[in-house]
Amino acid sequence: MISKRKPTIDDSKIIQLIRDELLPLAIRRFPNTQFHRDELMQRLSIGTTYVWKDRVGHIVGFIHLFIQNQMLWLDMIAVHKRQQGKGIGHKLVQHAILYGKATRLDAISLYVDKSNNKAIKFYKALGFRSIQYHPHIYCYEFSKRL
């Protein structure tokens, strides 16, 4: 079930998902990456975050979005490794797309590491297309019209 982030209730689980699922990917590309809880809290305070809770109310995934220049940016998305492959990420992205359409935005965009073949395949299957490569961050920029 998708719901809007409730900071005092949800943030510890979101931070844990970032630490477990996203930080290892960042460290693989940039070995000196540091985990700074305060910086992540600041990042989450800008934009909108939705969480996916399982049947008993545990957060097993989240998506963080922000708006810039009539475009919705998918800033972070993570699903607990034991819950991956069950359509949760797909539903979170679909929810983001509906949010972008309701907000009358032009497109949804994101960056994905060039070595993250699983994510590249995931976003292509959702209709995103690669529009540019950014060599300084080793990422493709993907976008989808809304």
- Mean pLDDT value across residues 15-27: 91
Distance CA 131, CA 99 (A): 22
pLDDT of residue 5: 98
pLDDT bin (cut points 50, 70, 90) of residue 135 is very high
Q: By the 8 A CB rule, do 131 and 143 touch?
A: yes
pLDDT bin (cut points 50, 70, 90) of residue 44 is very high
Q: By the 8 A CB rule, do 120 and 112 touch?
A: yes
Looking at every residue in the chain, the average pLDDT score rounds to: 95
pLDDT of residue 27: 79
- Mean pLDDT value across residues 65-74: 96
Residue 55 host element (H or E): none
pLDDT of residue 107: 98
> Using the 8-state DSSP alphabet, how is residue 2 labeled?
E
Q: Is the pTM of this model over 0.85?
A: yes
